[in-house]
C-alpha cells in the first residue's frame, strides 16, 4: 500500500492482505540498500494471521519516493511517523541489520509506542569497512557484490533457498541494485558508520525483545548481537547454526517459527 | 614483508564451482554428497496451519511435485546461478519452457515480435498454436535489428528469439534488440540453448528471460528431456500498465501482486504458481538428476565441443564436396564480429554447411556416415547430423523454408567431443557417397 509521510509517498507491502486498522501493527524495517522484499517469508504469514503486516521501503528505497535518510536517528523518527501515518498508536517492530539500529533507536525514543522489538542480525554498532563504504558512496557495483558475499553464510553461498528455484546471492544483488547504489547503500552505510548510540539506546528499552543471531554472520557476529542483547532487560536470544547475516531468507522457516512464537505471545493477534 | 593493502574482492563461487555445487546443501540432506533423487509426488505438512501457509506462499517449501520438487529445485538454482539469474523454473522440455514463458507473459489479444530463425517446433508454436490462444506474432529476420523496432505494436508484450538461429547460425544483435525492447517497456526473451551459460550469459547483454532446452549441451548425454526458464531480475514490471497480471492484485492467484511481493523473482514465481498449477509441464526428479550430472562437466565439455567445431569448420571449408560453411568463427560470416563480442569463450558447436549436389547428395551423405548419428537432436556429446529440409523443418512449406533461411543442400552438424580425426574420417565416407549420385548422373 502507499501512503504519505512528511510529504513523500511511502510504499509498504501489506503481505497480500488489505490494511485493517482494527488489527495490531507489525512494522518490518529492512537492511542497508535493500527493500521490503527481503521480508516476504515473514510478512505474508503475519498478514494472514491477524496482524497488519507492513514491510516498509525506507525513503528513496524500493518503491518509496523521496531521498534516503542520512542518519539512523532520522530513520527512527521516520518509523514513528509511519505508525502515526497509518493511524495506529502502537506497533511491534522487526528489524534486520541496519533495521536493527533503526528499531532499537526508535524503541528507545518512543517507549510508549513500541510493544515488542525483534532484531535479526543486530548489533549495537555497525562500523563499516572504509573501502566498502567508499565503494558504495562512489556507486561501484562491487560494493553490492562484497555485501552479498559477506551477508551470506557458507551454506547460503551454495544456495538452498527456501522458495524453490530462487538463488540467494543473485536475488539479493538485484534488490540492492534496484535503485542507484550511492543513493541507497552509500547513504545507508554512512548512516550505520556514524551511529554511536546503539548501546545507550538499548539500555532504555523495556519492552519484550528478541534477538535472532546466526553463527556464520560476518557482518554482525554473534558476540556483537549478544552484547547488545545483554543490555536489554529480559531480552531473548535465539542462535541459528550454519547460517549467515541474511537469516531471514537463508533460514526463513526457522526465523518465522521463532518470530511467530515471540510476537503472538507478547503482542497477540486480533482473533478472527 | 609487504605492507601493500589487500584489495577487497568478493569470494562468491565461480562458474566451475557453481556447476558442481550450486543449489545444494549436503547438511540438509543426511550428508549425502550427491544430490538425492526425491522420487515423490507430495510432501507431508506439519499441521493445517503449515499446509495453508505453503499454499498461500507465506512460507517456502514443497507441496506437490507438479509445482516443485527438491531435486528439480537444485537444478533450478544451479542454472540460475550459472546464468547470473535470480530464479529459474525447470520444465519437462525446452518447448514447454517457451510455452510457459509466453503464457506467463501474455493473454489473449497480446502480440509478440519473434525472430524468424528458430527451431521448427518453435516456429510452429508461434505461427500456428499461439494464435489459437489469441496471441499473435510478427516474425522478423534476426539480422534486421530495425525490423524488431518497427514490428512493435501497442499490444506487444515482448520480443523472443534464439541468440544464434537454428539452423542457419544467424546471430541476433542482443544488446541492440534489448534496448529496443526496453525502450518500448517490454522484456527480451532469449533461447540460449546453443550457447549454454559457459559461452554466453544473455543477462549481461540485456536479456530479461533466458530459456534453455536442457536436453542439449547442458545435459550433454542425450538421455533426458528437460527445459528451463531463467529470470534476470532487472526488468521493471511496474514501469507501465502492460503487465497487470504481474503488477495488480491478481485473481488468478488469490489477489497476489507478484511484482510487489517478489520483485526480481516475480516472473518465475508467477510461472510456477500459475503456470505449473494450470498447465503442469513438470520435470521428473530423475531427469533433473540426470541433467545435473551433465552440468557438472559443462565447461570441460563446451571447451572440447568448441575446439572440435573450429577444426571441423577448417576441414569443411577446404573440402571439395562442400559448397559453403556457416559458423560464427568463419571470418566472412556476417556476424563474425558480433560473435566475438557475445561469445568470447567459443562460438559454439553448431555448423551448417551446404553439400555440393543438393538434396540427393545430402541424403547420400546422411545415409552413409557411421559415427555421426542421424537424429533430431543437437548438443549431444556425440556428433549429430540432420538434413533440416527433410527432418526438423519438414513441416514447413517452401515459402516458410525460404523465410527461415533454409536450403535443400543444408546439413546441420552438431559437433561432438569424439576424437576429431575419427569425425573427419567418418565424414570422408559420407562425402564419397555424396559424390556418387552425381557421377552416375554425369555418365
The pLDDT confidence band at residue A203, using thresholds 50, 70 and 90, is very high
Q: What is the pLDDT of residue B439?
A: 53
Residue A33: CB atoms within 10 Å: 28
Q: What is the pLDDT of residue B3?
A: 54
DSSP line for B13-50: --HHHHHHHTT--GGGTTT-SSPP----SB---SSHHH
pLDDT per residue over A114-125, tens digit each? Answer: 999 999 999 999
Flag if B263 and A253 touch (Cβ within 8 Å): no
Q: What's the rounded Cα separation, in Å, for the pair B246 and B230? A: 17
From the candidates A37, A167, A176, which should be mutated to test the interface with B, based on the most B CB atoms within 10 A?
A167
DSSP line for B49-78: HHHHHHHTTSS---SBTTT--HHHHHHHHH
Residue A238: pLDDT over 80: yes
Q: Pick B10's closest partner by Cβ from A41, A146, A242.
A: A146
Q: What is the DSSP letter of A183?
A: I
Window 76-115 of B, Cβ < 8 Å to A: 76-78, 80-81, 84-90
pTM here is 0.95
Residue spans of beta strands (DSSP E) within B163-205: 188-191
Residue A260: pLDDT over 80: yes
The mean pLDDT value for A172-193 works out to 96
Flag if A164 and B72 touch (Cβ within 8 Å): yes
Q: For residue B161, which of B186, B130, B189, B135 has the smallest C-alpha distance? A: B189
Q: Pick B77's closest partner by Cβ from A142, A167, A178.
A: A167
Q: Pick B84's closest partner by Cβ from A35, A170, A178.
A: A170
Q: Which residues of A touch B53 (CB under 8 A)?
A: 45, 48
Q: What's the rounded Cα separation, in Å, for the pair A170 and A152? A: 11
From the candidates A138, A170, A254, which should be mutated to test the interface with B, based on the most B CB atoms within 10 A?
A170
Ordered structural domains, chain A, with CATH: 2-127+195-266 (3.40.50.1820)
Residue A66: pLDDT over 60: yes
Q: Pick B262's closest partner by Cβ from A40, A160, A161.
A: A40
The pLDDT confidence band at residue A167, using thresholds 50, 70 and 90, is very high
Q: Pick A165's closest partner by Cβ from B8, B25, B89.
A: B89
Flag if A149 and B10 touch (Cβ within 8 Å): yes
Q: What is the pLDDT of residue B168?
A: 76
Flag if A161 and B238 touch (Cβ within 8 Å): no
Nearest Cα of chain B lies from the Cα of A97 at a distance, in angstroms, of 20
All residues at 6 or more sequence positions from A214 whose CB lies less than 8 Å from its CB, including other chains: A121, A153, A222, A239, A240, A241, A243, A244, A245, A247, A250, A251
Low-confidence ranges of chain B (pLDDT < 70): 1-5, 391-396, 403-404, 437-443
Nearest Cα of chain A lies from the Cα of B76 at a distance, in angstroms, of 5
Q: Which three cell numbers stand for residue B124?
A: 510452429
Size of interface A-B (CB pairs under 8 A): 146
Q: Which residues of A227-249 are buried (b: 16+ CB within 10 A; e: fewer)?
A: bbbebbeebbbbebebbbbbbbb
Q: What is the pLDDT of residue B315?
A: 98
Q: What's the rounded Cα separation, in Å, for the pair A49 and A267? A: 12
All residues at 6 or more sequence positions from B344 whose CB lies less than 8 Å from its CB, including other chains: none
The mean pLDDT value for A196-213 works out to 98
Ordered structural domains, chain B, with CATH: 15-295 (3.40.640.10), 299-442 (3.90.1150.10)
Q: What is the pLDDT of residue A143?
A: 97
Q: What is the DSSP letter of A186?
A: I
Query: ipTM value of the model?
Result: 0.95
Q: For residue B100, which of B288, B231, B197, B207 has the smallest C-alpha distance? A: B231
pLDDT per residue over A42-64, tens digit each? Answer: 999 999 999 999 999 999 999 99
Window 269-288 of B, Cβ < 8 Å to A: 269, 272
Q: What's the rounded Cα separation, in Å, for the pair B235 and B315? A: 43
Nearest Cα of chain A lies from the Cα of B130 at a distance, in angstroms, of 27
Instruction: Give residue for cell 552509500.
Output: A186
Q: What is the largest CA-CA distance in chain B?
A: 84
pLDDT per residue over A69-101, tens digit each? Answer: 999 999 999 999 999 999 999 999 999 999 999
Q: What is the largest CA-CA distance in chain A?
A: 51
Nearest Cα of chain A lies from the Cα of B378 at a distance, in angstroms, of 26
Whether residue B339 contacts residue B170, with contact meaning beta carbons closer than 8 Å, is answered with no
Q: What is the pLDDT of residue B368?
A: 95
Q: What is the pLDDT of residue B78?
A: 98
All residues at 6 or more sequence positions from B412 whose CB lies less than 8 Å from its CB, including other chains: B167, B350, B351, B352, B378, B385, B386, B387, B388, B392
| Chain A residues with CB within 8 Å of chain B CB | 13, 16, 35, 37, 40-41, 44-45, 48, 62-63, 129, 131-132, 135, 142, 145-146, 148-149, 155, 157-167, 169-171, 174-175, 178, 242, 252-253, 256
Q: What is the pLDDT of residue A111?
A: 97
The total number of residues written for chain A in this structure: 272
Flag if A178 and B22 touch (Cβ within 8 Å): no
**Cross-strand bridge partners of residue B161:** B190
Nearest Cα of chain B lies from the Cα of A139 at a distance, in angstroms, of 16
Flag if A167 and B23 touch (Cβ within 8 Å): yes
Flag if A162 and B262 touch (Cβ within 8 Å): no
pLDDT per residue over A7-17, tens digit each? Answer: 999 999 999 89
All residues at 6 or more sequence positions from B253 whose CB lies less than 8 Å from its CB, including other chains: B270, B273, B274
Flag if A159 and B22 touch (Cβ within 8 Å): yes
Flag if B60 and A162 touch (Cβ within 8 Å): yes
Nearest Cα of chain B lies from the Cα of A123 at a distance, in angstroms, of 23
Q: Which residues of A97-129 are buried (b: 16+ CB within 10 A; e: fewer)?
A: bbbbbbbbbbbbbbeebbbbbbbbbbbbbbebe
Amino acid at each position: 500500500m502507499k501512503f504519505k509521510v512528511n510529504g513523500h509517498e511511502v510504499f509498504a507491502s501489506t503481505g497480500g492482505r488489505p490494511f485493517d486498522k482494527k488489527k495490531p501493527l507489525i512494522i518490518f524495517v529492512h537492511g542497508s540498500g535493500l527493500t521490503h522484499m527481503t521480508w516476504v517469508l515473514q510478512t505474508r504469514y503475519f498478514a494472514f494471521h491477524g496482524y497488519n503486516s507492513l514491510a516498509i521501503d525506507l525513503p528513496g528505497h524500493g518503491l518509496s519516493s523521496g531521498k534516503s535518510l542520512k542518519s539512523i536517528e532520522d530513520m527512527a523518527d521516520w518509523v514513528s511517523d509511519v505508525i502515526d501515518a497509518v493511524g495506529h498508536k502502537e506497533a511491534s517492530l522487526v528489524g534486520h541489520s541496519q533495521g536493527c539500529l533503526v528499531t532499537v533507536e526508535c524503541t528507545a525514543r518512543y517507549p510508549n509506542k513500541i510493544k515488542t522489538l525483534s532484531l535479526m542480525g543486530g548489533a549495537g554498532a555497525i562500523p563499516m569497512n572504509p573501502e566498502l563504504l567508499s565503494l558504495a558512496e562512489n556507486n561501484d557495483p562491487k560494493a553490492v557484490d562484497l555485501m552479498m558475499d559477506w551477508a551470506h553464510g557458507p551454506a547460503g553461498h551454495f544456495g538452498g533457498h527456501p522458495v524453490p528455484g530462487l538463488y540467494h546471492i543473485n536475488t539479493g544483488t538485484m534488490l540492492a541494485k534496484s535503485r542507484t547504489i550511492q543513493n541507497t547503500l552509500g547513504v545507508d552505510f554512512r548512516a550505520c558508520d556514524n551511529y554511536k548510540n546503539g548501546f545507550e539506546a538499548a539500555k532504555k528499552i523495556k519492552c519484550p525483545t528478541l534477538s535472532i543471531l546466526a553463527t556464520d554472520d560476518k557482518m554482525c557476529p554473534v558476540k556483537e548481537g549478544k552484547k547488545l542483547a545483554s543490555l536489554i532487560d529480559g531480552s531473548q536470544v535465539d542462535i541459528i547454526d550454519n547460517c549467515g547475516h541474511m537469516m531471514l531468507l537463508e533460514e526463513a522457516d526457522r526465523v518465522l517459527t521463532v518470530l511467530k512464537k515471540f510476537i503472538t505471545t507478547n503482542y497477540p493477534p486480533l482473533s478472527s | 614483508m609487504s605492507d601493500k593493502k589487500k584489495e577487497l574482492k568478493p569470494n562468491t563461487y565461480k562458474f566451475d564451482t557453481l556447476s558442481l555445487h550450486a543449489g545444494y546443501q549436503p547438511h540438509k540432506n543426511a550428508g549425502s554428497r550427491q544430490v538425492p533423487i526425491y522420487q515423490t509426488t507430495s510432501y507431508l505438512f506439519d499441521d493445517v496451519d503449515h499446509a495453508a501457509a505453503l499454499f498461500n506462499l507465506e512460507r517456502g517449501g514443497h507441496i506437490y511435485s507438479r509445482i516443485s520438487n527438491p531435486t528439480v529445485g537444485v537444478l533450478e538454482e544451479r542454472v540460475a546461478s550459472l546464468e547470473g539469474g535470480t530464479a529459474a523454473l525447470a520444465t519437462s522440455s525446452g518447448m514447454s519452457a517457451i510455452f510457459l514463458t509466453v503464457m506467463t507473459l501474455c493473454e489473449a489479444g497480446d502480440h509478440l515480435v519473434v525472430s524468424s530463425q528458430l527451431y521448427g517446433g518453435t516456429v510452429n508454436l508461434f505461427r500456428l498454436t499461439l494464435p489459437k490462444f489469441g496471441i499473435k506474432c510478427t516474425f522478423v529476420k534476426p539480422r534486421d535489428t530495425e525490423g524488431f523496432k518497427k514490428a512493435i505494436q501497442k499490444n506487444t508484450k515482448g520480443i523472443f528469439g534464439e541468440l544464434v538461429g537454428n539452423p542457419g547460425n544467424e546471430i541476433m544483435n542482443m544488446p541492440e534488440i534489448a534496448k529496443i525492447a526496453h525502450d518500448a517497456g517490454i522484456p527480451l526473451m532469449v533461447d540460449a540453448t546453443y550457447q549454454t551459460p559457459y559461452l554466453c550469459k544473455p543477462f549481461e547483454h540485456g536479456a530479461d528471460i533466458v530459456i534453455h532446452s536442457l536436453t542439449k549441451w547442458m545435459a550433454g548425454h542425450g538421455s533426458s528431456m528437460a527445459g528451463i526458464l531463467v529470470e534476470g531480475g532487472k526488468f521493471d514490471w511496474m514501469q507501465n500498465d502492460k503487465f497487470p497480471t504481474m503488477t495488480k492484485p491478481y485473481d488468478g492467484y488469490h489477489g497476489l501482486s507478484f511484482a510487489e511481493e517478489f520483485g526480481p523473482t516475480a516472473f518465475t514465481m508467477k510461472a510456477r504458481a500459475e503456470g505449473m498449477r494450470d498447465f503442469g509441464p513438470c520435470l521428473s526428479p530423475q531427469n533433473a538428476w540426470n541433467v545435473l550430472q551433465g552440468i557438472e562437466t559443462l565447461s570441460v565439455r563446451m571447451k572440447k565441443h568448441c575446439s572440435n567445431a573450429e577444426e571441423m569448420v577448417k576441414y569443411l571449408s577446404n573440402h571439395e564436396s562442400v559448397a559453403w560453411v556457416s559458423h560464427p568463427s568463419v571470418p566472412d560470416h556476417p556476424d563474425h564480429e558480433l560473435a566475438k563480442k557475445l561469445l568470447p569463450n567459443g562460438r559454439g558447436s553448431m555448423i551448417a554447411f551446404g553439400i555440393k549436389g543438393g538434396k540427393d547428395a545430402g541424403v547420400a551423405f546422411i545415409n552413409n556416415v557411421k559415427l555421426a548419428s542421424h537424429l533430431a537432436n543437437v548438443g549431444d556429446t556425440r556428433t549429430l547430423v540432420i538434413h533440416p529440409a527433410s527432418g526438423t523443418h519438414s513441416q514447413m512449406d517452401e515459402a516458410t523454408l525460404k523465410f527461415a533461411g533454409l536450403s535443400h543442400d543444408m546439413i546441420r552438424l552438431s559437433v561432438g567431443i569424439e576424437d576429431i580425426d575419427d569425425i573427419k574420417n567418418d565424414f570422408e565416407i559420407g562425402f564419397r557417397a555424396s559424390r556418387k549420385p552425381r557421377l552416375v548422373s554425369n555418365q
